[in-house]
Amino acid sequence: MGKLRSLTADEIIAQMFFAQKLCRLEGLPSISNVVFMGMGEPSDNSYNVAQATKVLTTRRFFSLAASKVTVSTVAPNPECFMEFANSPCVLAWSVHAVRDDLRKKLVPTTKYKMVELRQGLIDAMLTRPLNARSCMLEIALMRNVNDRLEHADELAEFTQGMIDQVPGIKPHINLIPFNYIGEDSPYEPPLAEDVTAFQKRLQSKGMYTHVRSTRGDDETSACGQLATTKPKSYKTAP
């Protein structure tokens, strides 16, 4: 799709305002969680995202708890975590694989080793008070790519490295089964039994782990599916 520009903090907050209005008008449940992720890298627009988190958690405005606002980054560099260290939010890291060669394959833009990026998150967590050291590690599981038990073992060891260095840290591993995005994709969704085995392996090593439920995949609006596509019959104008 390409990047046109970054949103201002006002524009980000306006989306929340109108979403709440829509919920009221349509009788929908009120918004209880906000997650910055998906179609854009939050650390590329860190100032405005950080400002937005402050407004979202201010009592006289939207009054969300800091634990209900998540900023998810792919971690383009180790310093990106520190940009949100003082923000009222949960820091989430799109990890996907902890072995450098596999991570480079899944995240081609990565320029740093995983231990370097992990140290950036550790440094950011150490600046926070003990009761604000929750973080999330996100793994998009793909069949026969990163969903094997050996990958779970590597992830557990990698996470333990954070636990050993940050007193009071509460890492939450979020497993996200890859969604089908078309025949041209080289990746496939994992088998349900493999996801369960992966989760149980992590839990056996003392890791708090959750499997994200898939929503919206029937309308191509689930996680990872929010992209523009052109129908096969589409023709560009002369």
pLDDT tens, 22-45?
999 999 999 999 999 877 899 999
Strand pairing category for 170-177 and 69-73: unpaired
Find the mean pLDDT for residues 40-66. Answer: 94
Instruction: Give yes or no for a contact between 207 and 171, defined as CB atoms under 8 angstroms apart.
Output: yes
Q: What mean pLDDT, rounded, does the chain reach?
A: 88
Cα–Cα distance between 79 and 163 in angstroms, integer? 19
Please report the pLDDT score of residue 229 as a whole number. 52
Alpha carbons 14 and 22: distance in angstroms, whole number: 12
User: Phi and psi for 225 in degrees, rounded to 5?
Assistant: -105, -5
**Cross-strand pairs, 134:** 170
Share of the chain above pLDDT 90, in %: 79
pLDDT of residue 233: 47
Q: What is the pLDDT of residues 94-104, one digit of tens each?
A: 999 999 999 99
Q: What is the pLDDT of residue 227?
A: 52
Residue 187 confidence (pLDDT): 85
Residue 33: CA count within 13 A, CB half-sphere: 8
CB 50 within 8 A of CB 15: no
Give the pLDDT confidence of 118-171 residue by residue, as tens digits: 999 999 999 999 999 999 999 999 999 999 999 999 999 999 999 999 999 999
- pTM for this prediction: 0.84
Please tell me the distance from the alpha carbon of residue 157 to that of residue 160, in angstroms, as a whole number: 5
| Residue 130: DSSP 8-state | G
Cβ 83 vs Cβ 46: under 8 Å: yes
- The answer to whether the CB of 146 falls within 8 A of the CB of 190 is no
Cα dihedral 14, 176, 46, 61 sign: positive
Q: Which of 4-8, 41-45, 152-156, 215-219 has the largest mean confidence?
A: 152-156
Percentage of the chain lying above the pLDDT 70 cut: 88
What type of residue is 178?
F
